[in-house]
Chains A and B, each alone.
Chain A
Amino acid sequence: MSAGKLPADRADPLQHARSPNRTFGPQPPGAQFEVVGKRSRKVDAAGKATGEARYTDDLALPGMLHGKTLRSPHPHARIKRIDTAKAEALPGVLGVVTGAEMPVRFGVIPWTQDETALAVDKVRFIGDPVAAVAAVDEETAQAALRLIEVDYELLTPLFDPAEALARKDVVIHEGNKHGNVTKEVLLEFGDPDGALARSDFVVEDDYEFHGTAHAPIETHVALARYGSDGVLTLWSATQIPHYVHRELARVLDLPAPQIRVIQPHLGGAFGGKSDPFSLEFCAAKLAIKTRRPVKFLYTREEEFYAHRGRHPMQMRFKTGMTKDGRLTAVDSKILIDGGAYSSFGLVTTYYSGQLLTGPHDLPNYRFHSTRVFTNKPPCGPKRGHGSVQPRFALEVQLDRLAEKAGLDPIEVRRRNFQGAYTTTVNGQRVTSNGFDQCLAQVEAASGWKARRGKLGRGKGLGCAGSMYISGTNYCVYPNDMPQAGIQIKVDRSGLVTVFSGASDIGQGSNTVVATIVAEELGLRLEDVRVVAADSDLCPVDLGAYSSRITFMVGNAAIHAARKLRKLVQQAVAEEWGVAPERVALAGGFAFDLEERARVVSSAKAFHLAEAKFETLGATGSYNTPNLGGDYRGGTIGASPAYSFTACVAEVDVDLETGEVRVPHVWTSHDCGRALNPVLVEGQIEGSAYMGFGEVFLESHAVNQYGLTTRPNLLDYTIPTALDCPEFHASIVESLDPEGPYGAKEAGEGPLHPTIPAIANAIHDACGIWLTKLPFTPAKVLAALQAKAKADAASGGTRGGASGGASGGALGGDQGGKR
């Protein structure tokens, strides 16, 4: 690892191949924060509350056609013949497209591009797109799909990842180097075998994480227009407009400057819209073919086929501890069910191991993760990408070891706290780290010390901790350009417009950008307008994934705005004949710090600067420093800063029915500086909610025929207002030296500990260790019965109340296979 000496300015691109890592420290630009840290309203909230905000399906163009996708009814088959003649002849049909017309493979990771817009030669899961139609209305398009003739030669499907790994005779992707293995990573740090052998306590268990879906309320939707100027415009519900832009150019063989990608308001994503998707290519291709605008809106059922949900993982974990509660080593072996395509799977495979080396000091570590293809809808990144599953296993094992050592679970985590400014065993640089304060907050808020063990029969408390990245320095496609860019324009009215490449997917990135620019230029929030995620107007940002936007785009925004701030201060200072340091910018004014009566409006200050210098504008950018371990994959999961979370859950287990109620979840999250605490709380609450849903309710189930069995929101049960616990969010601000004003991520980290905290609370409540998600009443009941049998056999009579005694049965498995 080398920090690398980076240039202060990238004026000479030949000399400095990599753009510099510029950060500004946690201090305010002026004497105190004026906008940052306030509970301000979101810049786009009013329009969302009134229905004015336009989402992609709210857009309509004259002459617009409606697109529909024909999908495979078979999980694994070769396409022998496709005949679209009858569909094309149907009145009202203006265009039909098949895979042969778009054979170029794409995929978000350049090394694993294995998708085509529509199937070429082969289909790999039930729901794989085969052909697409554009017609005057949806009904006609639907009727046309029924007229497309496809002859399939059925192939043996593989649904079980272990079978997919073992079978050499059935290959889902011909040409793949390693059978059905999409990625295998084995990394070892320190001496895990020796450390485990020397440990006072060792636990080894199998854990299972089922598949879950993002289920955003807005389904995938794309609208394409091919103009007479030869420009293709695509409006899409995507969280990665830049990658979509690149892939459209490749697949459609169009020059990239002729393509414009716009992400309108977006109705939820959670990682589910961070791949390029079939409908984006089909809408574009059909718009070109028909010379009419074409819109595709996925049905709720299609949303479940597009998927990219959380990977099911089978995890064997072995963890050791000393008598005094120090973690000695972790050894994990993980089989990851990837579904039919690679998606982000290369990264998932690394993340399943790389992101487990904090907030607990882990001195010895091995992980061996293998992702395999199966004939099911493809998995991908879902909130807390790759690490939510192993975090569940690790945090439950920590509680098992704490019990063996006779220690309080929170105390064990406290003793293993890795601290700030350290390097993890896998070479990740940790800067700010407020995990100890997170623990203290949830311990106090939940009444842990006073209440644990005293809640009564079937009731309990459990805790867990976690870490997550604030973006990584692994750029999806290799280049030396910045990861994030900002451009600012100043109007003579006093309005400042910020052009941001970042995708606001509801998390509030436009508000974050406006907050930062308002802070730097001394403006009110309403004097800043953000134009975002439009490839014609905005500088490139890589997208809303890996929790990267606040950190990276935030730093880029400071970089750009501070240049302008200096110009404005200098111009006003010269006008007044004072030193620039005396000119303060705040609240829509520029004033003299020493003679407070001397004041001009921000608009007037901009006029002075424009007169003195030139048309006002600025750009800013951010790139990560060189980070990560010096080994293959060492940069994957290497982040400029990590967020940390502690969680306590309270449960109430019905010992007769196995039903678990969760009255409260307390989550404390270290997000560095909270640029807007309301937004941070919203991310914490929403994360805890999503984790809660995965524990009990949600399962992306696929049956023995490969059919997705719950492709709707009635059967795929996401929590309703009546299901949810009370979520209590609190914030720890361990100011990060490189984050924008010290900020780090908040969108994904807080999900992680929810799941193991609930598992640990169930153990506290009734003495069972559940190892296989989701925790259905049937599984809980089976574990309770197994425990009762074991207790009877050993003569033990442990009751259901909370307690620290050892033992307890492993969770029984009655769940359906994914």
Chain B
Amino acid sequence: MTAETRILRLHVNGSDVDVAAPSHWTLLEVVRYRLGLTGTKQGCDKGDCGACTLLVDGRARLSCITLAGDAVGHRVTTIEGLVTKDGLDLLQRTFDEAGALQCGFCQPGMIVAARACLDAKPEATRAEVKEALASNLCRCTGYTKIFEAVEQAVRAGRAAHTNGPASLVGDSAALAGGRR
């Protein structure tokens, strides 16, 4: 089709990237199909399910109803961007340790939504966590272990704040009570 193609300069996961995409493409389409960042999922393509959630300037955004052009000039962070040279994000680890991942399809969106929640409220209560995750549908878990994973991260974050970052891994592993 003859849709107008534009070059967009986006800032994704810490790097600037130039992307050529039709002007009507959503941020979801660009990250998945142009940048190959397929961790961000499409579940409904109309803003109902939350699987496409990513962070724009640190806040949770539904990328399936965000035009890619609107992200120009903003910091975009996808689930892949939570992994740094220091390893996985604390929430990526606690979701694993708490057994919150079943099919896993909603979880990238869920984890980045939880990240935005904890960045804003490091001591989020369960009620606040529920509120923050209410736009992210999970069909497998009944959310129980997702809440536990976020609470585990709250506790681990608190311990890290008190004892320094070295305690992060140890604390979250101890809370999970598990070895592999």
Q: A and B: partners?
A: yes
Residues of A within 8 A of B (CB): 38-42, 44-46, 48-55, 57-58, 60, 92, 137, 139-140, 143, 214-219, 265-270, 297, 299-300, 505-508, 524-526, 678-679, 681-682, 685-686, 688-690, 692, 712-714, 718, 720-722, 724, 726-727, 729
A92 neighbours in B (Cβ, 8 Å): 1
Known interface pairs A58-B38, A137-B1; A689-B143 also in contact (CB < 8 Å):
yes
Q: 1/0 contact trace for B74-104 toward A, CB 8 Å?
A: 0000111011000010001101110101111
A713 neighbours in B (Cβ, 8 Å): 43-44, 48-49, 137
Are A217 and B97 closer than 8 Å at their CB atoms?
no
Known interface pairs A217-B106, A712-B44; A268-B140 also in contact (CB < 8 Å):
yes
User: Can you list 20 A-B pairs with a CB-CB distance of less than 8 A?
Assistant: A39-B177, A46-B88, A49-B88, A49-B92, A50-B80, A51-B108, A53-B104, A58-B38, A143-B1, A215-B139, A216-B105, A217-B103, A506-B104, A506-B140, A507-B102, A678-B99, A682-B102, A686-B142, A714-B48, A729-B144
B166 CB within 8 Å of chain A: no
Are A217 and B105 closer than 8 Å at their CB atoms?
yes
Q: 1/0 contact trace for B38-71 toward A, CB 8 Å?
A: 1111111110110100000000000000000000
Give the size range of B's interface with the partner: 35 or more
B133 CB within 8 Å of chain A: yes
Provide the main secondary structure of the chain B interface.
loop
A216 neighbours in B (Cβ, 8 Å): 103, 105, 139
Are A49 and B101 closer than 8 Å at their CB atoms?
yes
- The answer, among A46, A679, A689, A712, for a CB contact under 8 Å with B142, is A689
Are B39 and A267 closer than 8 Å at their CB atoms?
no
Are A218 and B141 closer than 8 Å at their CB atoms?
no
B134 CB within 8 Å of chain A: yes
- The answer, among A300, A524, A690, for a CB contact under 8 Å with B44, is A300
Q: Which residues of B123-139 are within 8 A (CB) of A?
A: 129-131, 133-139
Bound Cα distance A92, B145 (Å): 47
Chain B residue with Cβ nearest A46: B96
Are B179 and A40 closer than 8 Å at their CB atoms?
yes
- Shortest beta-carbon distance from B114 to chain A in Å: 11
Are A218 and B41 closer than 8 Å at their CB atoms?
yes
Bound Cα distance A219, B33 (Å): 17
Chain B residue with Cβ nearest A680: B99
Are A300 and B43 closer than 8 Å at their CB atoms?
yes
B88 neighbours in A (Cβ, 8 Å): 46, 49-50
Chain B residue with Cβ nearest A60: B33
Bound Cα distance A553, B44 (Å): 33
Are B105 and A41 closer than 8 Å at their CB atoms?
no
B102 neighbours in A (Cβ, 8 Å): 268, 506-508, 682, 686
Chain B residue with Cβ nearest A137: B1
Bound Cα distance A267, B45 (Å): 15
Bound Cα distance A596, B88 (Å): 38
Count CB-based A-B contacts (< 8 Å): 190
Are B38 and A54 closer than 8 Å at their CB atoms?
yes
Known interface pairs A137-B1, A713-B48; A682-B99 also in contact (CB < 8 Å):
yes
Are A45 and B96 closer than 8 Å at their CB atoms?
yes
Are B103 and A218 closer than 8 Å at their CB atoms?
yes
Known interface pairs A41-B96, A41-B178, A722-B131; A51-B80 also in contact (CB < 8 Å):
yes
Bound Cα distance A720, B139 (Å): 9
Known interface pairs A217-B43, A721-B130; A42-B96 also in contact (CB < 8 Å):
yes
Are B99 and A219 closer than 8 Å at their CB atoms?
no
B32 neighbours in A (Cβ, 8 Å): 58
Chain A residue with Cβ nearest B106: A217
Known interface pairs A685-B141, A718-B137; A526-B180 also in contact (CB < 8 Å):
yes
Q: 1/0 contact trace for B13-57 toward A, CB 8 Å?
A: 000000000000000000011000111111111101101000000
Are A727 and B41 closer than 8 Å at their CB atoms?
no
Known interface pairs A267-B103, A718-B137; A688-B43 also in contact (CB < 8 Å):
no
Are A42 and B139 closer than 8 Å at their CB atoms?
no
Are A270 and B139 closer than 8 Å at their CB atoms?
yes
Bound Cα distance A727, B45 (Å): 30
Bound Cα distance A50, B104 (Å): 10
Are A721 and B107 closer than 8 Å at their CB atoms?
no
- Shortest beta-carbon distance from B44 to chain A in Å: 4
Are A268 and B180 closer than 8 Å at their CB atoms?
no
Known interface pairs A55-B41, A217-B106, A506-B104; A42-B99 also in contact (CB < 8 Å):
yes
Are A722 and B141 closer than 8 Å at their CB atoms?
no
Are B45 and A300 closer than 8 Å at their CB atoms?
yes
B111 CB within 8 Å of chain A: yes
Are A724 and B180 closer than 8 Å at their CB atoms?
no
Bound Cα distance A143, B106 (Å): 31
- Shortest beta-carbon distance from A756 to chain B in Å: 18
Chain B residue with Cβ nearest A136: B1
Are A50 and B83 closer than 8 Å at their CB atoms?
yes
Are A720 and B48 closer than 8 Å at their CB atoms?
no
Are A724 and B142 closer than 8 Å at their CB atoms?
yes
- The answer, among B45, B79, B137, B140, for a CB contact under 8 Å with A720, is B137
A718 neighbours in B (Cβ, 8 Å): 137, 139
Are B45 and A217 closer than 8 Å at their CB atoms?
no
- Shortest beta-carbon distance from B130 to chain A in Å: 5
Chain A residue with Cβ nearest B127: A722
Are A217 and B142 closer than 8 Å at their CB atoms?
no
- Shortest beta-carbon distance from B165 to chain A in Å: 20
Are B48 and A712 closer than 8 Å at their CB atoms?
yes
Chain A residue with Cβ nearest B42: A57
Chain A residue with Cβ nearest B177: A39
A722 neighbours in B (Cβ, 8 Å): 130-131, 134
- Shortest beta-carbon distance from B128 to chain A in Å: 11
A299 neighbours in B (Cβ, 8 Å): 45
Known interface pairs A40-B179, A48-B107, A682-B102; A724-B48 also in contact (CB < 8 Å):
no
Known interface pairs A51-B80, A52-B39, A718-B137; A217-B144 also in contact (CB < 8 Å):
no
Bound Cα distance A266, B178 (Å): 26
Q: Give the 7 A-B CB pairs with smallest separation, nearest first.
A: A51-B39, A506-B103, A267-B105, A48-B104, A689-B142, A58-B38, A678-B99
Are B178 and A682 closer than 8 Å at their CB atoms?
no
Bound Cα distance A146, B88 (Å): 47
Are B142 and A265 closer than 8 Å at their CB atoms?
no
Bound Cα distance A645, B116 (Å): 38
Bound Cα distance A55, B106 (Å): 12
Are B141 and A682 closer than 8 Å at their CB atoms?
yes
A58 neighbours in B (Cβ, 8 Å): 32, 38
Chain B residue with Cβ nearest A688: B142
Bound Cα distance A39, B39 (Å): 26
- Shortest beta-carbon distance from B158 to chain A in Å: 21
Bound Cα distance A554, B48 (Å): 38
13 additional contacts (CB under 8 A) given A49-B92, A217-B41: A45-B101, A48-B107, A50-B82, A51-B39, A214-B139, A215-B139, A300-B46, A300-B48, A507-B102, A685-B141, A689-B143, A692-B142, A721-B134
Bound Cα distance A508, B100 (Å): 12
Bound Cα distance A41, B40 (Å): 23
Most buried by B among A137, A508, A689: A689
Are B1 and A50 closer than 8 Å at their CB atoms?
no
B138 neighbours in A (Cβ, 8 Å): 217, 721
